[in-house]
């Protein structure tokens, strides 16, 4: 039996390790999760449920109202897994309905919905780095018959995603499709549909992918080293990024009270798995 060590990484793991090793320890090793999941996060999950239902129904041959009804039925059923308040569920469902009105049958003929992949990124005699993820949609663009990888993103503010993203590089590498489209699903109440629901295409050449692979391996090996040596350097330049690191309270206290504070403010969740949102 082979005793080769297998390390599983996904884009979320790479992002976290690159952002802050201590954050990676708290979330990926200690599995700390806030007592109450952030509302926007849960709304994002619900939006993904509706969208997955919408494209799966099309893949199953449904069109028009039957397709939308099926997606809403599935989204509502899955929403019971979440702790969202009813008004927030209704808000997401309403925007999903607006999305359906705006895109109609849509430009994508779905090939795969919520497609899981696991593919070796690196392998030597002792170590395999297995990259994995779940892709929202792989669809053939009916305008030119070209397969595209589509990533749905619920947003509350107009934002321009950047092509230098571990997630998009990894999806392009895993599928061997050059074209990645960000399917921006805006939750802004005041914007017209054509500004809320935007498609942002990016294209990745093999040379770009090759360079990403080199650095992804570097960061994955560094994550292994951190864990083997129990060394998790904090990166204070990441604490206030985006809406702020969820562990700021833990880092803003002394070492000896950190464990106690963690036990009060967080619970231990499940091992991170890209297949569960």
Return residues touching ligand SF4 (CB under 6 A).
20, 22-23, 26, 234-236, 238-239, 245, 247-248, 251
Contact at 8 Å (CB) between 175 and 117? yes
- For residues 201 and 244, which CB has a smaller minimum distance to ligand SF4 in the complex? 244
Residue 245: how many other CB atoms lie within 10 Å: 22
* Shortest Cβ 261–ligand SF4 spacing (Å): 12
- For residues 25 and 152, which CB has a smaller minimum distance to ligand SF4 in the complex? 25
- For residues 25 and 67, which CB has a smaller minimum distance to ligand SF4 in the complex? 25
CA distances from 27 to 32, 46, 53, 155 (A): 5, 22, 29, 23
Q: What token pair was written down for 24?
A: 């990676």
* Shortest Cβ 225–ligand SF4 spacing (Å): 18
* Shortest Cβ 218–ligand SF4 spacing (Å): 20
- For residues 161 and 234, which CB has a smaller minimum distance to ligand SF4 in the complex? 234
* Shortest Cβ 31–ligand SF4 spacing (Å): 14
Beta strand ranges found along the chain (DSSP E): 5-9, 32-34, 108-123, 127-141, 146-155, 179-186, 197-203, 266-268
Contact at 8 Å (CB) between 142 and 108? yes
């Amino acid at each position: 039996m082979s005793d080769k060590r297998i390390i599983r990484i996904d884009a979320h793991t790479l992002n976290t390790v690159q952002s802050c090793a201590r954050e990676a320890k708290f979330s990926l090793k200690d599995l700390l999760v806030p007592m109450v999941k952030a509302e926007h996060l849960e709304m994002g999950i619900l939006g993904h449920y509706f969208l997955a239902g919408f494209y799966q129904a099309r893949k199953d041959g449904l069109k028009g109202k039957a397709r939308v009804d099926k997606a809403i039925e599935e989204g509502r059923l899955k929403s019971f897994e979440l702790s969202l308040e009813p008004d927030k569920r209704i808000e997401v469902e309403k925007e999903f309905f607006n999305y359906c009105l705006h895109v109609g049958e849509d430009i994508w003929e779905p090939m795969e919905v919520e497609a899981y992949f696991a593919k070796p990124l690196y392998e030597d005699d002792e170590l395999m780095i297995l990259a994995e993820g779940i892709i929202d949609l792989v669809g053939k663009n009916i305008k030119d018959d070209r397969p595209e990888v589509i990533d749905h993103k619920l947003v509350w503010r107009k934002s321009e995603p950047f092509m230098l993203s571990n997630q998009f590089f990894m999806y392009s590498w895993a599928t061997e499709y050059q074209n990645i489209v960000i399917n921006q699903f805006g939750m802004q109440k005041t914007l017209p549909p054509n500004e809320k629901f935007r498609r942002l295409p990016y294209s990745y050449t093999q040379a770009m992918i090759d360079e990403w692979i080199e650095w992804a391996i570097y960061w994955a090996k560094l994550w292994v080293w951190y864990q083997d040596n129990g060394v998790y350097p904090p990166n204070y330049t990441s604490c206030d990024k985006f809406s702020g690191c969820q562990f700021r309270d833990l880092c803003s206290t002394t070492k000896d009270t950190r464990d106690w504070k963690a036990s009060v403010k967080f619970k231990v969740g499940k091992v991170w798995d890209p297949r569960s949102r």
